[in-house]
Every structure is written in structure tokens, then in C-alpha cells.
Amino acid sequence: MRAFFQFAIFLSAIWLLAHSNASLAHAIILSSAPSAGATVSGDAVAIRLHFNSRIDHARSKLTLLAPDGTSQTLTPAADAPVDELNAEATRLSSGAWRLRWQVLSVDGHITRGDIPFTVH
């Protein structure tokens, strides 16, 4: 019986450790438009990144990497919801593109990633 209680205490401690920092978690991307691996048509793309927490818009960055290797910085929309990073990309040529994002979450941690997509 003592082993059972020790195991229960151990599991409780693990659960508390796992959930005590839930409010301190990094900003995690929940959805994106375009989504990773998507093919879009036209030369304009609405960029919509939705995160699991509030982000600091002023310190967040969006960069488009073109098929030829050049990059262009996108200006995030000032009126985006607190948990989104939005922008408009125009004059996109056909080919494989990569959206590079970086956000500062309200917990002070920087999160970054890439979203590859193709313009057709």
C-alpha cells in the first residue's frame, strides 16, 4: 500500500510540474494562412498567423524568402488581434516561397519558424 501512495505522490508532482508553467509557455502557432506546404494562386497572399497566446506585435517580424533567394520584410498589420500576426504579401512570382516568422510572447520568450508554400 505504501508503494501505491508513493506512486500517487510521484504522479501528482509530475502533473504539477507539467501544468504549473502553462501560463509561461512560448507562443505556439495554432494555424496559418497559407498553411505549411499549401499551394496558392495569384500574386497576392493574405498572411494570417494565429498563436496560442498574446504576442508583442511591435517586436514581431515577418520575412518572405523568394524562390530566387531574395527576401522581403513584411509589415505586420497594426490592427491584428492580440494573438495574431497578419500581413499582406503582393507581387509574388510563381515558385517555392518561405514565410519566416518571429514573435515575442508576453512571457518574454522569442518563438520563430518557417512556413513553406508554393505560388502557382
Domain that holds residue 56: 27-119
Residue 25, pLDDT score? 66
Which residues are within 8 A (CB) of 58 and not within 5 positions of it... i.e. 6 or more apart?
none
Residue with cell 510540474: 17
Asked whether residue 14 is assigned to any structural domain, the reply reads no
Domain with residue 34: its CATH number is 2.60.40.1220
Asked whether residue 98 is assigned to any structural domain, the reply reads yes
List, for residues 18-74, the tens digit of each pLDDT value.
444 444 568 999 999 999 999 999 999 999 999 999 999 999 999 999 999 999 999
Residue 19, pLDDT score? 44
For 38-51, give the DSSP string: EEE-SS-EEEEEEE
Residue 106, pLDDT score? 86
Which residues are within 8 A (CB) of 73 and not within 5 positions of it... i.e. 6 or more apart?
61, 62, 63
Could you give the number of structural domains in the chain? 1
